Amino acid sequence: EGKFVEITWDQAIKYVASSLAHYKGDEIAAISSARCTNEENYLFQKFTRTVLKTNNIDHCARL
C-alpha cells in the first residue's frame, strides 16, 4: 500500500469511472480555462451537461 503500480490505460479508466460513479448531477462541478478555444470550451460544457449531467460549469475568464 502507498506504492505506485504500473497499470494499463483500460484499468486506469475503469478505476476512475468506478470511483466517480456514485457522484450524481449537483454533486459534480467543472471549471474550464480561458486558454482553451471556443470550440474546446463548447465541447467541455457539452460533455459536462450530457455525460456528467450537471449544469455546474464555470470558466476562469469570469473571475
Quick: pLDDT tens for 3-62. Answer: 999 999 999 999 999 998 899 889 999 999 988 999 999 999 999 999 889 999 998 875
Cα-flanking dihedrals φ and ψ of residue 54, to 5°? -140, 150
Query: What three-state secondary structure class fits 57?
Result: strand
Its pTM stands at 0.69
Q: 34 Cβ partners below 8 Å, 6+ apart? A: 59, 60, 61
Euclidean distance between CA atoms 11 and 32, whole angstroms: 26
- Counted residue by residue, the chain has a size of 63
Handedness of CA 22, 10, 55, 50 (dihedral sign): negative
